[in-house]
Structures are given as C-alpha cells and as structure tokens.
Amino acid sequence: MNQFHTVGKRIPKLDAMDKATGRSQYIQDLKVPGMLYGKILYSKYPHAKIVHIDTSKAKKLPGVRGVLTGYDIPEIKFGVYKDNRPLKAGKVRSYRDEVAAVAAVDPETAEEAISLIEVTYEALPGIFDPVAAMREDAPLVHEAHKTNILKMPWKLHYGDVEEAKKKAAYIVEENFSTTWVTHCCLGASGALAWFDYADNLTIYSNTQIPSLAQKDFIDALDAMGMKNRRVRVIKPLIGGGFGSKLDTYAYEYIAILLAHHTRKPVKIVFDRQEEFIATSTRQPTLTRIAQGCDKEGKLLFRDISMILDNGAYTSWGATTPSVMMMPITTLYKVPNVRYEAKCVYTNNTYAQAMRGYGNPQATFAIESSMDMLAEAAGIDRVAFREINANESGYVSPQNFKITSCGLKECINAVVRELDMDRPKEKGEGVGMASLIHVGGGARVYKSDGCGTIIKVDDFGKVNVFTGASDMGQGADTVIAQIVAEELGLAVDDIHVIHTDTDVCPWDVGAHASRTTFVAGNSALGAAKKIKAQVLEVASKILDTPEDKLVLRDRSVCSMEDDTRTMEFGKLLRKAHFSRSGRMLMAEHFYDPANENLGRDFRGNLSMTYTFGVHGVRVKVDEETGKVKILDYVAAHDVGKAINPMLLEGQVYGGVMMGIGYALTEQILSEKGQCMNPNFRDYKILTAKDVVPMKAPVLESSDPDGPFGAKGIGEPGCVPTAPAIANAIYDAVGVRIKNLPMTPERVLAAIREKRGIDLCGIQAGKDTGDACVVEE
C-alpha cells in the first residue's frame, strides 16, 4: 500500500541516540570563553510602585561584572502589544516582573549578587479576577491603557444566531472554564548572547521562531542605538517547545543588554522554579456557550462568549481567540455562529501560545456542549456527530475550505477501536470528542513561508538547510525522509541543518502544526530541483531520456535497461569532475496559498485542515471522585503519515498532555503568585501515568501536502478534556465544566447530584480555583 521507500517508514528520530546517550548539547551545556552568567531579580509584589533600587552592594561583590535595572536601559518594548519591557521601571505588575539583573563570573556569584539588591516597593492593590478587572473602578494594570480590557477585536457573527435560536428545536447553554497550565518543557529556557566588535549580535536562544526573534532583536538593537546591525539567532537543541518559545521574552533581552553592558558573552538559564514562575501559560478562559439544533439533530447555531485572563502583559495568549474561532465556526457544520472574546489585564502571570493555541479551551466547551445537546435532542452522541460532521468540499462560514477530510472515518475508528457499545460496569463510561485544526500552515503573519537550500556533496550526501525549527518533535527526521524519498536516498544520507538564521532561510516559526506541511513542501520543492539536475546530468551520462530514469537505492537507474545504472555519488563526481564541472545545489521558498483572516475573520487560514476524534473509556470511583482511564483511542486524519512512529509519538504525547490538562495539571495561583512551581505539586503526568492508548492513523492523502501529509503536532491534546468529561458524564451522570477535573471536583459534583455538599465547593458554579475574585 505504501508506494514509497522512505516516506511512511517508522524511522527513529535522527538525534534519538545522541539524546538517549547524553551526547546532545542543550543551552545548559553551552560554554564560550569569557562567558558570564546572568541572573534575574523578580518582583516581590504582584502590583507595586518601585520606590528605590539599591544595587551598590551587588556591584561591589567580587566577580560581578554588571548590574542593570529598568532605569539603566533604553526603552525596549516587546510582546504582541508592546506593553512589556525587559526590566521594569516605575512599577511592577506581576510577581514575574523583572526588576534587576546581574552578570557575574559564575552562577553562585550571580545568585548572591541578586540577593544583595535592595528594592523598596510601595504596594498597590492587585486585581486577579478578569471579571472584577473589567469593572470601571478596578485598579488599572496599565494606567496608560485607561481600562483593563484589551482593545482586541475578537468578535464575529456569521448568519443570524438570534433567528436560528428561534428556529431551534433544542438548545443547551452552559458555562465552562479552564485555568493556567504550563508547557513543562524538560529543557528549561535559556539564552546566550554576545556582540562582536561592530556590535553585531549573536544569540543562542531556545526559540521556535528564529526568524521572527531575529526581527525582535534587531528592533531591540535599534532601541539601544545600534542601527543596521546583523543579528544571528542560533537555536541550540531544544528540550521541548509546545508553543512556549513562540515569542521573545524578557530574559533574552536581558542577556542581550548584559552582554552589551559587559562586552562579554552572557548566558541566562532558568532553573525549574523560574521556569514555572517566569515562563508563560496556556490562556485561562471563562466560556459561555449556547448551541441549538433542529429536530433532526442538525446544528443550527453556536453562540459563544469568553473572558480571557490576559495577565499583566500581552503575548500570544491574547490572540488565541483567532484560533478558537476555527473550532467555533468550523468544527461540524454550523450555519450561524457568534463569538466574542474579551482579554482582560490582571496582575496574574501572562499567557503564551501552547499546543493547540486556544483550540483545547474552545473544544472543551464545544464538545461538552455537543454531548449535552445530543442528550437534549434524544439523539445518540455518535449519530449526532455524524449528522453534523464536516466533509470534503465543505466551506465553513469563516470561509475555511475543507479539502481532505476524514472526520467521519475517525468517528467510525473510535467507535470500533474503543468498542463503544459494549456493556459497561458500574462507574464506567465512554466519551468522545472531535477536533479540527489547521493542517496546512496558518497564515497569521505576513508570510507563512519556509525556505530550503539543498547542497549535495561528491559522495551522495545531502545537506538541507531548512527554515524549520526542530524543538524535539522530529521535524529534521521528517524533512530528511521527504528529501531522501525524492532523491532515492537513505535518511542517513541527509543532514538537516535547522539551527542558525545565518544558514537557514526564513521561516515563520514552529507553530500551527505547520512544519511537516510547509517546511516539508519547501524541502520537497528544493529536492525536486535537485532531482531535475540529477536527471539532466544522468540523462547525458547514461544516454537515457530523463523520463526513463528513476532515482532509487542511492542510484540513478534506467527503467528499461538494467545495465544503465550509476551509483549516485559516482554520478555526482562525474558531473563535478568534468570541464565546466557542476555541483548540485538548489533553493526553494514555499509560501502556501492560504489567506490571512480579514477584518471579519473570514479567510482560508490554512491550505488544509486536520480532523480527529478521541474516544475514552473511564472508570470513576464514586467514593473518591478519582477518574481512571481504562482505554484511549485517538484517531486522526493526517493525510499521510510521513513517519508513523514519530506521528504516534506526537499523538501519544499530545494525548498525555491533554489528560494532564483534563485531570491533574494546574498552576495554583494565589493572588498572582504561583504556589506550586515544581513538577510534583503541579501534578504533571509521568511515564508511569501513561494510559492504554491506540492511535489509528487515517490517510486521506491531502492534495497539497508533501506526499499527501497534513500537520499533526497539536491535535493530540485538543479534544482530550471534553472526551474525558463526556465519559465521566456517561459513567456517573455529572458534567464537570471546570478544568482540571480533579477528584475533589468530580466528587463534589457527584455529591451535589446526590444533594450532598460536604466540601463547601459549589461544584459546577465556581469558575475554577484559578479565577478567584480578589476581595
């Protein structure tokens, strides 16, 4: 069935062995001569005036090479709203606010110097609940902004929802909430920056967006008075991204500022506590959803309003509604859709992109509501989904054009693999939830492109310089497979370089599950050019028409004459070592023909969309509220699995992240302060928590994807929580509307259903621990 020799194969990640054996070098391992260690002092208050900073003791400490505060640096503004600066002056707005930084000869000295900086604060009233923060009399987080509500345009209305409501036979309406979770990358954040004599900057940084980070740092250099400098961003091996590295952060600018101040390389790496406190989270949401259908179960409308806790500064978290719109308008066929979201400044931590980028929050509400509506309509949940399922050729109200679509096949796969209809024990339940996600890029920037350069040496080895950013997901392996496939080579023949803006062409970054599709198409385009050169050369040397030649097994072969074959390296040397010799090189820039969303948020954001359905069988302990997952099925239409093993890894990892999101993980925030900055108290799932899981792969062969592939990086964690919520409901008849669905919450719900409220928690009414109103 697989007509390919490399694509479709279960090839281990190219760097797996080096990682497994500890040879891989992360930012933590990097040292350059003369390097100093930077350390950051964070705020002691969630909201306070900075009255005075005394750095004199720190500066006198032997080994300290530089101390900076917000008063020593130029006006560098960063973030989506440019409302953040590397070191704060005037006031602090959250506990993670950077107040001062030092560079010293070793980490211990830097740490000690930090402890010697004396900051006098004048506390200000804090605001930690976005609903309260919207009140007119609420303390302002950014005075200049005049209100805590961000001026962001998240509002759409397609069709006529009010009219549809009138026509609906069944309507359900409910509130859902999600709270802060964080990426928990095993490789903590870090940056290492230095300047050459001409103030050109080199910065190693754990980033998913080397090209965009380059632009941000160029802007910072401009602000520092250094115009027209070269900035080189080098991405070391990264121990996990998940969206956390999709923006530039204070610590990167601080490393740059300290490097410039000291004229030495400066490295800042986070410890685990810092990683929890000073990196960003998934965007917490308060969602009100109403859906209605006709008597036959056809969805008539979807009406959603949301409040998002923006925290004190604005990063990509505030833009997640742009992606939430995708499931809201296009998961299932819904003719009438209304959506509004408000982002609100608070003195909490601020959010970033995180795997799924708003989709898990929206899908939790939508797919919980789908089950509720099916029940209200008296229609089987599976049938209800089938009735409304998207199909190839469908164009959604948001103008998303569905090309390949295996949603119904995924539904069937889950029903089959989970054996959904078999008899259940007491406390056992099954649930399902679907997902749509961009699978062919996402035009959220002026370009959604990726460049590739390919260079072939004399020995049949191929260097591929890709814009793609591997942060552990295996992009380099997938790209190597694509190039190897096109050139008839083995994956070992391909070396993918994905680390350095000086070498790698532009790419918008590793987000939106776009790398296999966009960087894959870019690599394929360059490989096709190389192939054309090979065929041109081989045709002459083998005296065979180009269309009668095939590249396979490291050779160029005539299809018709077995004797006319030549080993690839030999052919290359023949081409090279002749008069007017040539080397094979090619470059390609691929920018998909997708569309930026317009002012009305319409536009075909992605070249294609990935669909999936998750099903789960749980057992709920009605005495403790503990939910045990007995079986999990995650079926996805991936177009084509370039590497089924890596794909399964993405799905397994995504599902486990989704289960953590559903059941255990949360940042416990007490008046803006993270109370559980460690893996144990945060309750991240570990290897021993892995559940029995199947990941059926459906291949719809996307017409635009490289070898038919679509993106699958994020979907794994998107519908997990609602699938589990639906299974809990199926098991014990309670609907949990707030994440995470801890045993306490489940038990409270069970008891409330039974009329008991022992814990004092009003299950189903609270909005999660995360959004406690400050009183």
Nearby residues of 213 by Cβ (< 8 Å), 6 or more positions away = 203, 205, 207, 233, 248, 252
Distance CA 577, CA 559 (A): 26
Count of alpha carbons within 13 angstroms of residue 565, beta-carbon side: 13
Nearest to 420 by CA among 412, 376, 652: 412
Q: Which of residues 5-64 bind its own copies (CB under 8 A)?
A: 17-18, 21, 23, 25, 29, 31-34
For residue 771, count other CB atoms closer than 10 A to its CB: 25
Residue 448: which region, alpha, beta or left (left: phi > 0; alpha: psi -120 to 50)?
A: alpha
586 binds its own copies (CB under 8 A): yes
Among 62, 197, 563, 680, binds its own copies (CB under 8 A): 197
Q: Which two tokens stand for residue 224?
A: 């520092």
218 binds its own copies (CB under 8 A): yes
In terms of CB distance, is 142 or 230 closer to its own copies? 230
**For every residue of 296-309, which 3-state class applies, written as one string?**
CCCEEEEEEEEEEE
**For every residue of 198-228, which 3-state class applies, written as one string?**
CCCEEEEECCCCHHHHHHHHHHHHHHCCCCC
155 binds its own copies (CB under 8 A): no
598 binds its own copies (CB under 8 A): no
Chain centroid offset of residue 488 CA: 33
Distance CA 675, CA 665 (A): 13
Among 57, 77, 155, 461, binds its own copies (CB under 8 A): 461
In terms of CB distance, is 33 or 760 closer to its own copies? 33
Q: Which long-range contacts (CB under 8 A, 24 or more apart) does 558-563 make?
A: none
451 binds its own copies (CB under 8 A): yes
Helix and strand element counts for the chain (H, E): 19, 29
455 binds its own copies (CB under 8 A): yes
Percentages (nearest 5) of helix, strand, coil residues in the chain: 30, 25, 45
Point out which span in 131-139, 287-295, 499-507, 747-755 binds its own copies (CB under 8 A). Answer: 499-507
Angle among Cα 256, 259, 260 to the nearest 5 degrees reads 85
552 binds its own copies (CB under 8 A): no
Q: Which two tokens stand for residue 426?
A: 């007491």
In terms of CB distance, is 214 or 738 closer to its own copies? 214
Point out which span in 64-72, 159-167, 445-453, 755-763 binds its own copies (CB under 8 A). Answer: 445-453
Distance CA 704, CA 608 (A): 8
Distance CA 531, CA 39 (A): 50
Give the number of residues in contact with its own copies, rule: CB under 8 A: 53
Angle among Cα 396, 399, 402 to the nearest 5 degrees reads 60
Point out which span in 196-204, 624-632, 676-684, 726-734 binds its own copies (CB under 8 A). Answer: 196-204
| Residue 685 C-beta: closest distance to its own copies, Å | 29
In terms of CB distance, is 596 or 678 closer to its own copies? 596
Which one-letter DSSP state was computed for residue 769? G
Distance CA 702, CA 711 (A): 10
N- to C-terminal Cα distance for the chain? 64
**Per the omega criterion (within 30 degrees of 0), is the bond before 130 cis?**
no
For residue 173, count other CB atoms closer than 10 A to its CB: 14
| Residue 122 C-beta: closest distance to its own copies, Å | 42
| Residue 105 C-beta: closest distance to its own copies, Å | 17
In terms of CB distance, is 3 or 197 closer to its own copies? 197
Point out which span in 247-255, 442-450, 620-628, 666-674 binds its own copies (CB under 8 A). Answer: 442-450
492 binds its own copies (CB under 8 A): yes
| Residue 80 C-beta: closest distance to its own copies, Å | 18
Among 160, 174, 591, 621, binds its own copies (CB under 8 A): 591
219 binds its own copies (CB under 8 A): no
Among 214, 310, 608, 738, binds its own copies (CB under 8 A): 214
465 binds its own copies (CB under 8 A): yes
In terms of CB distance, is 563 or 580 closer to its own copies? 580
| Residue 592 C-beta: closest distance to its own copies, Å | 10
589 binds its own copies (CB under 8 A): yes
Nearby residues of 35 by Cβ (< 8 Å), 6 or more positions away = 192, 264, 265, 266, 267
687 binds its own copies (CB under 8 A): no
Point out which span in 93-101, 159-167, 238-246, 449-457 binds its own copies (CB under 8 A). Answer: 449-457
593 binds its own copies (CB under 8 A): yes
227 binds its own copies (CB under 8 A): no
| Residue 228 C-beta: closest distance to its own copies, Å | 8
Which residue type does 234 have? Answer: I
Among 576, 626, 683, 694, binds its own copies (CB under 8 A): 576
675 binds its own copies (CB under 8 A): no
In terms of CB distance, is 294 or 587 closer to its own copies? 587
In terms of CB distance, is 126 or 505 closer to its own copies? 505
In terms of CB distance, is 213 or 334 closer to its own copies? 213
446 binds its own copies (CB under 8 A): yes
Nearest to 319 by CA among 286, 281, 357, 264: 357
Chain centroid offset of residue 409 CA: 26
Say if residues 427 and 621 touch (Cβ distance below 8 Å).
yes
506 binds its own copies (CB under 8 A): yes
Point out which span in 228-236, 381-389, 390-398, 664-672 binds its own copies (CB under 8 A). Answer: 228-236
| Residue 152 C-beta: closest distance to its own copies, Å | 22
532 binds its own copies (CB under 8 A): no
| Residue 22 C-beta: closest distance to its own copies, Å | 9
Among 186, 583, 756, 773, binds its own copies (CB under 8 A): 583
| Residue 140 C-beta: closest distance to its own copies, Å | 36
| Residue 505 C-beta: closest distance to its own copies, Å | 6
In terms of CB distance, is 202 or 369 closer to its own copies? 202
Among 35, 376, 585, 761, binds its own copies (CB under 8 A): 585
Distance CA 605, CA 589 (A): 19
Strands (E), 117-243: 118-123, 155-158, 170-178, 190-195, 201-205, 231-234
- The 91-92 sheet, strands edge to edge: 91-92, 48-54, 118-123
Q: Could you list the residues that contact its own copies (CB under 8 A)? A: 17-18, 21, 23, 25, 29, 31-34, 196-198, 214-215, 218, 228, 230, 232, 446-447, 449, 451, 453, 455, 457-459, 461, 463, 465, 492-493, 495, 497, 501-503, 505-506, 576-577, 579-583, 585-587, 589, 591, 593
